[in-house]
Structure 1
Amino acid sequence: MKLKKLAAIMLTGAIALTSASSMAKTYKLASNVPADGPPGQLLQEFASRVTDDTDGRVKIKVFANGTLGGQAQYLQQVQSGVIQMGLVNSAMMENIEPTFGVLNLPYIYRSFDEFKMVMDSDLIQKELFSSTADKGFEIVGFLDNGPRSIYSTKPINSIEDLKGLKLRVMSSPTYIEMLELMGTAPTPLDFSEIYSALQQGMIDGGEGGLGALWEIKFGEHAKYAIKSEQTRMVDLIVINDKALAKMKPEDVKTVQRVMKDVTEKSYDVVREQEAASMKLAKEKLGVKVVEIDKAPLVASMAPIYERAMQDPDKGPMLKKVFELQGREF
């Protein structure tokens, strides 16, 4: 009798384990950033914490360094459900939902505090982030990617030295126009192609976070940079809508809670890491970084704002951002 009872208990336990195992789901999260850089480390922390806090019901496996393709490639796969999650920057998102172009406008943020205030607002978190609902995916949060400046293989000591430089840019209408207004020749390339393009002389430089001069060794070829800080891009974490719908409500809340925590952490991590990386780029690679007067660059961006205000997609959102910031165009 005791043996039968023991067997029944064991069978019940096995069924429970099998049931729990069958409920677990592994979500692929594609990114094009290095696993050991700040964004890559933050993504891994997000994945690990979600797995732990959902007791393994939601397992997230991060594929770094463009293993699953460039952002444009894997975003399409997220939309179709082939890949469940992905890291997509706000510039790439503009191609899918034009309203996100407001986040990419040059000098839209006048300070870090203003940037954080806008990004943490309901205007962005609820209104803007919900605008992709009909695109096959939803946004669960973002990582701060820090300010973006300009680096080059050729000497640059002022904005006048930018004229004619062939600079790598993301495939974003706003970013391309921004570099054109600076007098450069924008060249769209995937992030993973930058190093070889610098090495082979296909480009003179690029615009992006200056921490990459050390972290990805762009500074081995690009020895010059100016702190233009024209934009402050964010990396959005997207998830296929059907994949999200299959999660238990409590697990969805866990994903959102963990993502919010990691977002907050990204603010400090990015600032600290960029400072450390810039110090190493200067000391180890001989990179020269020049502080500049940004006023002429800010003034040169007027055409972008004039068009954005008239744009039916961007205009209304831009006006709301200005209201949040307490300023007028």
Structure 2
Amino acid sequence: MKNKKFIGLITSLLFATTILVACSQEDEDVAEADKGTKVEEPKITLRLADNQPADYPTVIGDQKFAELVNEKSDGRITIEVFPAGQLGDEKSVLEQVQLGAIDFARINASPLAEFNDDFTVFSVPYLFNSDDHLWNFLNGEKGTALLDGLQEAKMQGLAYYDSGSRSFYSTKPLTSIGDLKGQKIRVQQSEINIKLMEALGASATPMPYGEVFSALQTGIIDGAENNLPSFDSSNHYQEAKYLIMDHHTRVPEVLLMSKTAWEKLSAEDQKLIKQAALDSVETQRQAWADYEEKSLKTLNDAGVTITEVEDISPWQETVKPIVDEFSKNYPELVDAINSASP
């Protein structure tokens, strides 16, 4: 009887061991299967707004940025670019970015001064001596700090894009600083622009950009100021045959993201997007250089008299009170700019 019980006990133990071994092996098989199966992260689609045409240098930069993000994320993150103001004008797009309704936008630096006073620096005349000077500053510590400083306005700056420099053009001879005296020059509505024209002896005439061509035709204004591609694409050169390349301001473009959308991203994706934005700058700057070269040819072929200012110091001396006034309020920023000079 005892032997039967012993045999029964042994049999039960062997059966239980077999069950345990089988379960353990099954668990190992599942674990091995899990190792080979990577959990797929959800795909993300984001929107980027630009008010310029599809072939404009900033949009070329936008497209490169979108392409790089798609590549770096292995197709997981898609950025749809909407050029030509499809999502609204610059002001309404900015509002939508702040609300999180639009994920990205390419915005000129000038209106960003409304959200961060330091961006006013780009409107100060003759503060940057050259493109190299500007980009040394933008790529430096203070330039990066400006981008991050937009967070308080619910935006995250990512990178700067090129927008050249602004110069004066007129229907009247304009080959020296003295020629500006008495001329009526259209400027963007701002206190600093009006002070600039007063310092140069001209009369500031703020008006909407769309009215400039007819105002040149009718003599309401003598001239205006802008970058080369805008002077070309607006056809203002058909009326204003004199251009003086004084490069009085160098205002970059800014590629930025809604802080709402930014904070939804993982730290890894934030790093990926930031790097893609920085990597797209080279493509955008080359597109801008090509665009300027094309515009310059158009102007030369049209018989525009183009004067390049070789010595900017007399212009800088003339507007020194404006620069000094700004410098008093932003000493650290101006010091950083002066230190960035090549």
When the two structures are superposed, what TM-score results if normalisation uses the length of structure 1? Answer: 0.81
What's the CA shift string for 1:131-171, capped at 9, x where partnerless?
12111111011101112211223332322222343433334
Summarize the Cα distance change of 1:323–1:66 in structure 2 as closer, same or farther, 3 Å threshold: same
What's the CA shift string for 1:221-262, capped at 9, x where partnerless?
332211111121100112110111112333222221121122
The letter of the residue matching 1:94 is A
Helix, strand or coil at the partner of 2:127? coil
Identity of counterpart residues, as a percentage? 30
Helix, strand or coil at the partner of 2:169? strand
Tell me, yes or no, if the aligned pair for 1:90 and 1:104 is still in contact at 8 Å: no
2:158 matches 1:134: no
Gaps of 5+ in 2: 1-37
Question: Distance between the aligned counterparts of 2:318 and 2:44, measured in 1?
Answer: 53
Tell me, yes or no, if the aligned pair for 1:211 and 1:277 is still in contact at 8 Å: yes
Tell me, yes or no, if the aligned pair for 1:144 and 1:234 is still in contact at 8 Å: yes
Tell me, yes or no, if the aligned pair for 2:169 and 2:240 is still in contact at 8 Å: yes
Tell me, yes or no, if the aligned pair for 2:98 and 2:258 is still in contact at 8 Å: yes
2:337 matches 1:321: yes
Question: Distance between the aligned counterparts of 1:257 and 1:236, measured in 2?
Answer: 15
The letter of the residue matching 1:24 is I
Question: Distance between the aligned counterparts of 2:120 and 2:84, measured in 1?
Answer: 25
Among residues 84, 87, 91, which one is paired with 1:68 in the alignment?
A: 87
Question: Distance between the aligned counterparts of 2:45 and 2:249, measured in 1?
Answer: 37
RMSD between superposed Cα atoms in Å: 2.8
Tell me, yes or no, if the aligned pair for 1:92 and 1:170 is still in contact at 8 Å: no
When the two structures are superposed, what TM-score results if normalisation uses the length of structure 2? Answer: 0.78
Question: Distance between the aligned counterparts of 2:190 and 2:85, measured in 1?
Answer: 19
Summarize the Cα distance change of 1:238–1:172 in structure 2 as closer, same or farther, 3 Å threshold: farther
Which residue of structure 2 aligns with residue 290 of structure 1? 307
Deviation at 1:194, TM superposition (A): 4.8
Helix, strand or coil at the partner of 2:142? helix
Tell me, yes or no, if the aligned pair for 2:60 and 2:287 is still in contact at 8 Å: no
Largest Rg, 1 or 2: 2
User: Number of residues paired by the alignment?
Assistant: 304
Higher deviation after alignment, 231-240 or 82-91: 82-91
The letter of the residue matching 1:290 is T
Tell me, yes or no, if the aligned pair for 2:156 and 2:256 is still in contact at 8 Å: yes
Tell me, yes or no, if the aligned pair for 1:164 and 1:185 is still in contact at 8 Å: yes
Higher deviation after alignment, 258-267 or 134-143: 258-267
Summarize the Cα distance change of 1:57–1:118 in structure 2 as closer, same or farther, 3 Å threshold: same
Summarize the Cα distance change of 1:204–1:32 in structure 2 as closer, same or farther, 3 Å threshold: farther
Summarize the Cα distance change of 1:81–1:159 in structure 2 as closer, same or farther, 3 Å threshold: same
Helix, strand or coil at the partner of 1:86? strand
Deviation at 1:106, TM superposition (A): 1.6
Deviation at 1:198, TM superposition (A): 4.7
Gaps of 5+ in 1: 1-15
Helix, strand or coil at the partner of 1:138? strand
